[in-house]
Each structure stands twice: as structure tokens, then as C-alpha cells.
Structure 1
Amino acid sequence: MKIIQSFWSGNLNDLTCNYGWISYKYNWLSWILSSHQLVKFHEEVELYTDRFGYEILIEKLNLPYTKVHVVLDDLNNYPKDLWAVSKIKVYQMQNEPFLHVDGDVFVWESLDAKFKNAAVLTQNLEITADNYKKMWDKISSELLYVPVEMEKYHKAPNNFACNMGVVGGNDIDFFRQYSKTSIDFLDKNIAASSKINCLNFNLFFEQILFYQCAQNMGVKLDFLFDEIYNDGYYDGFAEFQDVPEKKYLHLLGEYKRNPAVCKAMEVYVMRNYPECYSKMSALINEAVGNQNEIEFLNKEKVAELISNFDYELKNKKFLADNYLLKRDLYTEALSNYFKRLVDKEDFNIVLLKGFEVVTGQEEEEASFIEIKELNEVSKKYELDDLDEIALSKIEAGIRYSDFISEMLIHFDYDSEASKKDILVLLNTKLTNYIVLKIIAIYK
């Protein structure tokens, strides 16, 4: 089963369009990571795009697709906010089993191996938020046409839709029928597009219509995840610190506007796909004016920077040259390393540079740590009493076993079960410090 992706620029031809991300840079980083991870685990990964997408993704970034179709410029008469039309048009073009994967989805295993026999597959079933009915009421009152498949929903809106971060399967007839119905739904209401919220309309002619079509046609849906998620509450889809044990991430919705999540994605690309990262940086620096994006990374340079930081860490003498870059690269996969070491081997914990403790001015005002980020605003972490004790123990450098012994003194416990709960709490704290780049570890 081949993997397909689609990118339509909306006829904007603008490198700095953010496409819903906190910054345009993260949109391109997402495509870099998504495509490389898909190619890593699948033999056929094809891109459907327009001329601008071809210029950036293929000519400039050299993303590793096995085949590219430049076919989406025909959509440029649609309003740019109707972004889902490109996906549906691409479904309509398929003549063989496929899985369409959004550009904000990242995998660490083969999707084909698990779902090659699925008739129709989507990421998951979701319960739509209460405001969907309000959105539909506003939109439907302006529509010129509603397909029969939506009549039941129109009369009594249910709360189900399909999340289509991944969608596809073997039932090509279903996808042809669904795509035709969806495009008709869209085309017959183009005259009303200026009167409705087109961004919201995507939800109805894509996700909700998909579910309604499947119900009407009696098609069995398979899901990548059996859990039914509430729209807007997709916990567990953005934890870069848990990969590769976690096999699937999807930076949908608010994740795209979360600075910490976006930064974690950037550092992952830096460390794992440095040449492509440098191409993106050079593209931005050239097209937008020098943004101080880092252009000099390759695998050898990344290895050198990590090695240098390891030496500095063990000698507790950090050099200012490229400090934040070295710190980010070194700590990128460190939380997983920590989990592997805990309860098996002892190791050293070192307090890093690059942050400042800001003490609350008022009695009830909490202190916090302000952590410097490379080419981004600093992030803040509010300190509680336990944090202040823990960081004071780590400040001079400490072995993990000694840290645990000294911290246990501050707790009252009367059983091994209670002690185990305390250890979980302390290890969670240490994991957070690693992810926040407050501490690092080494054996």
C-alpha cells in the first residue's frame, strides 16, 4: 500500500505563510520530518503538490519522495482557506490502495504493515466539540446545497467525526464516492463561500461528511487508535521525548502553536536530518533576510558538537561558543537515556547553564526559571518547593544514587509502596528537568 501526502499552497506562493503554525519555519520543518520518517519505513511515498510546493519541498529542500505529482495548481480558483479540498482531490485521483498522511504526522514504524488489509482506515473516531453545532448552524443557513449524506446530521447533529491525520485503505470505490460527494458539496456552495467561515467549513465537507458517508454506505471503519478522542483534547500526540518508543505523533490544533513542542520538533530535525535542516535555514536566510538560522549542520558537525558538549559536561566547564546549539543537540534524546539507566546503573547529574532563576517579588508570587532558547523567546518553568530543594542538591553536581538518598530525607514514608511513589515523583521531576534543558546526565 503506497503512502501519499499532499501540499497545496492555496495559491499564496509565500515562503513565510505559517499554515496554522506559530511560525512559518515550523511548517517547513514539519514537512522535512514527516517525509523523512515516512520514507524510512515505507517503500513508496508520493507527494501531490502545486508548482510552489514543488519549488520549495523538492527543488530547494530535496525531500526524499519516491514520486512527485505537480497537479494541484488547478485548485487555485478555490478560496485559500478551503485547505481540505486538496486532500479530497488527491483521494479522488487514486486507483490503488493508499494511505494519505498529513504533513504534521510523524511515524516511527510502518503504517502499511499494520493496516495493509484495512478497507477504510482513519486515525481515530472523535467526539466533536459542542461548538460544532453552532458552527454548522451558522454555515448551513447560508448554504445553497446540502448532500443527502448530511441530511441526518443536519436534522439532528451527532457528535462524531473522523480524524483524518491518516486516512486510506483498500476500498477505492468508497473513496471515489466520498470524494465526489465532498467535491459536489463544496462546488455547489462556492457562490456562498464569501458568506461563511471557510476554515470551519473544512471540518464539515471533510471529517464529518466522511463519517456520515461511511455510516450511510455501511462501510466498516478501522482506526489507527481505538480510543475515541474529544476534539481539542488530543493528549499524548506531541511527546518528542518519548520517541522512538512512541511510534506516532500528530501535531494537530494547538500543538502547532505550542513553542515547546515546535522547538522539540526543530531540535529533532537538527540532530537527525541536519543536512536538510541546513538547506531550510539557507532558504530562509536568503529569502527573508538573514534570520541567523543555522546553515552549517551535517552529520559530522552534529557528532562533533555533541562530543564537545559531552567533554564540557564531564569537566563542568561549558564554553560559550555555540552553547545553546550544543546543549539542544546533546539533550535531544537524553530523557530516553535517563529512563534506560534508572534502576539499572548509577550516573552523574549536572546543572546546565543557559537559564536564570527569577525570584518572586511578593510573598505569594512563585519563583520561576527562565530558560534561554536558540533563536526563540525564552521559556518559563514555575518552581515549587520541591523543585528548589532538588535543584539545590544538583547545583554542584551529584550522583543519581546520592541525589535520591538526600531527597528521601525530606519525605515521610512508612512502606515500600510509599517509597516507590516518591521515587516515581522524583524521577518525573528529573525527566522534566532534562526535557526543559535544566540538567544533563552522563555515566
Structure 2
Amino acid sequence: MKIVQSFWSGNLTDFRNSYGWLSYKYNWMSWLLSCHQLVKYHKEVELYTDRFGYEILITKLQLPYTKVHVILDDLNDYHKDLWAISKIKVYEMQNEPFLHIDGDVFVWESLENKFKDAALITQNLEITADCYIKMWNEISPNLSYMPIEIENYHKHTKNFACNMGVVGGNDIDFFKEYTKRSIDFVDKNRSSLPENNFHNFNLFFEQVLFYQFAKIQNKEINFLFDEVFDDGEYIGFAEFQEVPDKTYLHLLGVYKRNPHVCKAMEVYIMKNYPESYSKITRLINEAEGNQNEIEFLTKKKVDELISDFDLELRNNVSTSDNYLLKRDLYTEGLPRYLQRLLLNKEDFNIVLLDGFEQVFTTLDDQELSFLEIKELNSVSRKYDLDDLDEVILSEISEGIGYFDLIAKMYTHFDDDSQEAKNDFLMLINRMLTNYIVFKIIAIYK
């Protein structure tokens, strides 16, 4: 079962086009990480793209696809907002078992091994509730043609669709028929549907139609996740701090525009694929005409920066030279390290990091405070403080061992029952994890 991806520029050949991301640089970083992770766990990973995609992803970024098909320029008579049409065309081209993986999906295991015998596969089932209904009510009056499958949906709009961040399987005949219906659905409505409906129309000629056609054909769909999600309410798909224990991330929807999620993706790439990251930063520097990005990272340089930061932490020395970069590289992966230490009941040292300041404000005559945490080449983060935060961070301020911290925290706790103490300990551990994720503290053995 081969892995395929598709990138179609929609004839938007500006390197700085964001394609729905917070910034254009995160779009290209997403493709970099998605490809590298797929190649790491699969033998065949093929890219279908147009000439512009080839120029950026292959010629300039040199992503390690095993095969590249430059054939999607033929779609340029479609409106740029009909982005799913390229995916449909790529499904149609497949003549052997396949999995299509979106460019905002990242894996830390083989998907082929999970689904090599499955006829049809998608990421998960989702309820077409409020968001879908609102979009459909705007689209449907303008349609001049509905396939029978969509007529069924039209009668019962609170139904289901398949999230197709991952889609594929062994039933090639199904995909030939499904893609024929999907392309027909698009082509027969291109002249009647207003352009401002095109973007949302993608969900219906791809995801809704897939589910409805499989239902009519009485085909079983296998899902990567058994949980059924409400449309627009995907939680748990962007936690870089949990990989590789979490083996699948999908930065769909609002995650693409969340600066902290985007920054976490960037730091993961910096640490794990520094040479590839440097290729992107050189392109950014060319596009922006400046040198505000880290341009020459290597694995050796990353290791040196992390080692320097570790020594600075242990010796209570802080230097401004590359501090935020070193902090980011050091703390990436640290939440998982914390969980291993806690699981093994090992002691460790906890220190406050630099790079943030406490801000005081007043709301409704109540004094509040938060930490404003600096980010490298990104907006600052905000962490709201409550009374327990104040106590914990005060205890950590001079550096402290974990066991000593817990002992001191128990002195602030009145309930002596073991169950209450266990709950309190779990709360403290969750807060320590959050402090690491927000780059407020670091730990070391």
C-alpha cells in the first residue's frame, strides 16, 4: 500500500501565499514535517503536484519523496478555492491500494501496517451539525445539480461526513466510481455556484459525498479513530509535547492559525530536521530580504546549543546569546521526559527560565496577573496566574528538587486523606507539565 500526497497551488505561485496558515512559512514547514515523518515510516511516499509545487517542495526544499508526478497544472482552469479537486483527481489516478495523507498530517508510526487489508479508510466520522448545516444552507440554493447521494444528505442534513486527512484503501473500484461522481458534482455546478461558496463546497463534494456514496453502496469504512467528532470541534490533534507517544497529529482548521501550535511545529522541525529547516529559512530570507530567521542550523549545532543551555541551567548562568533559541530546543521533548521521571518516581531539579515577565492588571476592581512569555520570531504567549501558581512558582524561584517541592506544597494543603493527597499531587504534576510547555520552567537530573 503506497502513500500519496497532493499539492496543488491553485495557480497561486507566490511563495508567500499562506494557504490558510497563520503565515506562509508554516505552510511550507508543514509539508516538510509531513513528508519527513511519512518517509520515516513508509517505503513508498509519492507526491502529485504542479510545476510550482515541484519548484518549492522538490527543487528548493529537496523533500525526500520516493517519486514525484508533476501533473496537476491541468487543474488550473478550476477556481483556486476548489482545493479538494486536486485530491479527488489524485484518488482517481490510483490503480493499486493507497493512502492519501494531507500535508498538515504528521505520523510517528506506519499507517500502512494498520490498514493494509482495509477496503476503505478515513481519519474519522464527523457529525455534520451546525457548521455544515449553515454552509449547506448557503450553498444548496445555488446548485443546478445534485447527485443522488447528495439528495439523500439534503433531506437529512444533520448526518455524517468522513474527515479525509487520511483516506484510501484496497477498493479501487469504489474510488473510481466515487471520484467520477465527485468531479461530475463539481463540473455541473461551476457556472451556477457563486465563487464565495467554492471554499465550503469542498467539504460536500469530498467528505459528505464519500460517506453518502459508501452508505448507498453498503461499504464498510474503517477509521483511524473510532471517536465521532462534531464538526469544528477537534480536540487533541495538535499536542506536539506528547509525541512520539501520540503518533498522529492533524493541524486542521483553527490549529493552522494558532501561533503557539505553529511555533511548536517549528521548534520540533528545528530540533529534529535542522538542515531541512535551514532550507526553509533561506527561502524566507530571500522572500523577505532580511536575515531575521535562523539560517544555518545543523544537527551538530543543535546538539551544541542544547548542551550549552544544559550547562547554563546547572550553573545558574544565563546568557542573552541565542537564549530563546537554546531554550526552545532544550524544552522541546521535555514534557515527555518529565512524564518518564514521574512514572519512575525519580527526583529531579526544577528551575525557572528567563524570557518572561509578570504583568499586573485590574478587571472589575480585582487585581489579576499573568506571565508574558517571549517567543522567538513569534508573538508572546500569555499564562494567567492563580493563587496556586503563585505559590508553586515562588517555591521554584531559587531552584528546587521535585521531592522537596512536593513536600513544601503539602504544607499548604489541609486535607490529610490519601485520596485527596493523590489528587493534589496529580494537579501539581499537570501544572509542572504546563509550565514546561509554556517555557516557564525547565528540569534536569
Work out whether the TM-score is over 0.5: yes
Structure 1's 59 and 195: CA in aligned 2 closer, same or farther, altered over 3 A? Answer: closer
Partner of 2:242: 242
Pairing 1:73-112 to 2, within 5 Å after superposition: 73-112=73-112
Q: Percent identity?
A: 70
1:152 matched to 2:187? The reply is no
Q: Which runs of 4+ in 1 moved over 2 A?
A: 193-196, 360-363
Of 382, 385, 399, the residue aligned with 1:383 is 385
Once residues 391 and 157 of structure 1 are traced to their aligned partners in structure 2, the CA distance between those partners, rounded to angstroms, is: 51
* Cα drift, residue 344 of structure 1: 2.2
Q: SS in structure 1 opposite 2:158?
A: coil
Which amino acid in structure 1 is aligned with residue 360 of structure 2?
T
Partner of 1:205: 205
Once residues 158 and 221 of structure 2 are traced to their aligned partners in structure 1, the CA distance between those partners, rounded to angstroms, is: 17
Which amino acid in structure 2 is aligned with residue 53 of structure 1?
G
Once residues 425 and 255 of structure 1 are traced to their aligned partners in structure 2, the CA distance between those partners, rounded to angstroms, is: 26
Q: SS in structure 2 opposite 1:366?
A: strand
Partner of 2:356: 355
Q: Deviations over 1:299-328 (max 9, x none)?
A: 000000000000001011111100000000
TM-score of the two chains, using structure 1 as the length reference: 0.98
Partner of 1:404: 406
Q: Deviations over 1:81-139 (max 9, x none)?
A: 01000000000000000000000000000000010000000000001231322321221
TM-score of the two chains, using structure 2 as the length reference: 0.98
Query: Which segment drifts farther, 340-349 or 388-397?
Result: 340-349
Pairing 1:5-404 to 2, within 5 Å after superposition: 5-194=5-194, 196-290=196-290, 292-342=292-342, 343-361=344-362, 363-404=365-406
Q: Deviations over 1:381-424 (max 9, x none)?
A: 11000001110000000011111111111112232111110000
* Cα drift, residue 361 of structure 1: 4.0
Once residues 434 and 94 of structure 1 are traced to their aligned partners in structure 2, the CA distance between those partners, rounded to angstroms, is: 44
Which amino acid in structure 2 is aligned with residue 14 of structure 1?
D
Once residues 195 and 20 of structure 1 are traced to their aligned partners in structure 2, the CA distance between those partners, rounded to angstroms, is: 17
Query: Which segment drifts farther, 387-396 or 189-198?
Result: 189-198
Once residues 399 and 367 of structure 2 are traced to their aligned partners in structure 1, the CA distance between those partners, rounded to angstroms, is: 28
Structure 1's 98 and 351: CA in aligned 2 closer, same or farther, altered over 3 A? Answer: same
Partner of 1:442: 444
Once residues 128 and 395 of structure 1 are traced to their aligned partners in structure 2, the CA distance between those partners, rounded to angstroms, is: 49
Of 421, 425, 429, the residue aligned with 1:423 is 425
**Does the 8 Å contact 2:130/2:231 carry over to 1?**
no
**Does the 8 Å contact 1:129/1:232 carry over to 2?**
no
**Does the 8 Å contact 1:138/1:196 carry over to 2?**
no
Q: Deviations over 1:213-240 (max 9, x none)?
A: 1011111100001110111111111110
* Cα drift, residue 158 of structure 1: 3.3
* Number of residue pairs the alignment of both structures matches: 443
Once residues 320 and 9 of structure 1 are traced to their aligned partners in structure 2, the CA distance between those partners, rounded to angstroms, is: 41
Which amino acid in structure 2 is aligned with residue 417 of structure 1?
E
Unaligned runs of 5+ in 2: none
**Does the 8 Å contact 2:142/2:194 carry over to 1?**
no
RMSD of the TM alignment (CA)? 1.0
Q: Deviations over 1:26-66 (max 9, x none)?
A: 11110011000000000000000000000000001000100
Which amino acid in structure 1 is aligned with residue 356 of structure 2?
F
**Does the 8 Å contact 1:142/1:195 carry over to 2?**
no
Once residues 37 and 437 of structure 2 are traced to their aligned partners in structure 1, the CA distance between those partners, rounded to angstroms, is: 22
**Does the 8 Å contact 1:142/1:196 carry over to 2?**
no
**Does the 8 Å contact 2:349/2:444 carry over to 1?**
yes
Once residues 277 and 225 of structure 2 are traced to their aligned partners in structure 1, the CA distance between those partners, rounded to angstroms, is: 31
Once residues 225 and 156 of structure 2 are traced to their aligned partners in structure 1, the CA distance between those partners, rounded to angstroms, is: 27
* Cα drift, residue 256 of structure 1: 0.7
**Does the 8 Å contact 1:139/1:196 carry over to 2?**
no
**Does the 8 Å contact 2:118/2:170 carry over to 1?**
yes
* Cα drift, residue 155 of structure 1: 2.3
Q: SS in structure 2 opposite 1:359?
A: strand
**Does the 8 Å contact 1:82/1:201 carry over to 2?**
yes
